Amino acid sequence: MSTPLSIAFIGTGVMGRSMAGHLLRAGHSVHVYNRTREKADALVDAGAHWHASAGAAAANADVVISMLGFPKDVEENYLAAGGIIESAKPGALLIDMTTSSPLLAKRIAEAAAKRSLSSLDAPVSGGDIGAREARLVIMVGGESAAFERAKPLFELMGKNIALHGAAGAGQYCKMANQIAVAVGMVAWCEALAYAQKAGLDPSAVHQSISGGAAGSWALTTLAPRALSGDFAPGFYVKHIIKDMGIALESAAEMQLNLPGLANAKQLYDQVAARGWEDNGTQALFKLFLS
């Protein structure tokens, strides 16, 4: 491994705790902050250092990585008084791995540059399993020098890593990913609900169709969870709704019509209205059978 770094990791939820754990096991000094302290306890027990705020964690870090829930959380932690940008030492590298707004990523990059900080937007795909197994897809926006500096850390967390352009490009790529994910979720839910209503064993149908032209990561990974009644979150319903909203807003700015995504958003809004927003995204299957 290269020289150990001091890394602040902000957001130790379902995915963040695994990602921070990989950095810790690689020998880096990891400083953590999470809004709910208990979600960082396992990392602290393993040797990470707890801080009472994102700014405090960032103050002496060489690299600051965040994995948060919503754009408002990103804005608050980075841009508010006493936050990451105000507290980070000059020369630090800031990496937001939250799925967030491309426009916010550009604002953060501009604010960071004014304080001689480098920044990347680097959202990920792969869910809880990809985070645990360090095989996330990492989509990056920012300067190439900052990307090369971050790449050894990305390689501890993911396998498919690419720089897509300037600040905001990582988030645009992630929105493309989320469009495909959301519309694809509707496809397999409809297919298996149809099979069940036709009197077939949906698990047997799943086995038949998942290896053919209908196959997808979601059909292979999430459909079995839904069929077994497991709706625990690898990725929350409330977060896919957030992502679809960002994508639809961005598409509107580009005067692009996305009817498939709009339909998926309406369906997931119904899932949330049933009280299932803290379920995993496979909870959409329940909607078709209710």
Last residue of a domain, one of 101, 133, 166: 166
Please report the pLDDT score of residue 239 as a whole number. 92
Catalytic residue among 174, 238, 242, 265: 174
Last residue of a domain, one of 139, 166, 193: 166
pLDDT at 1 over 70: no
**Mean of the per-residue pLDDT values of the chain:** 96
CATH code of the domain covering residue 279: 1.10.1040.10
d(CA 45, CA 80): 30
Pairing of β 158-165 and β 63-66: unpaired
Q: Which domain holds residue 210?
A: 172-289
What is the pLDDT confidence band of residue 290, given thresholds at 50, 70 and 90?
A: confident
For residue 56, what are the CA distances in angstroms to 21, 125, 165?
20, 28, 31
Work out the average pLDDT over 112-141: 95
Work out the average pLDDT over 139-163: 98
Residues 152 and 265 in one domain: no
Last residue of a domain, one of 137, 166, 195: 166
Q: How far is CA 105 from the centre of its chain?
A: 14
d(CA 12, CA 154): 17
Task: Provide the percentage of residues in the chain whose pLDDT is more than 70.
Answer: 99
- C-beta neighbour count of 2 within 10 angstroms: 9
Work out the average pLDDT over 211-237: 94
CA dihedral (152, 158, 164, 168) positive or negative: negative
Tokens describing residue 264: 């998926």
Model confidence, pTM: 0.91
Task: Provide the percentage of residues in the chain whose pLDDT is more than 90.
Answer: 96
Q: In this structure, are residues 107 and 171 in contact, taking their beta carbons and an 8 Å threshold?
A: no
Residues 46 and 129 in one domain: yes
**174 in active site:** yes
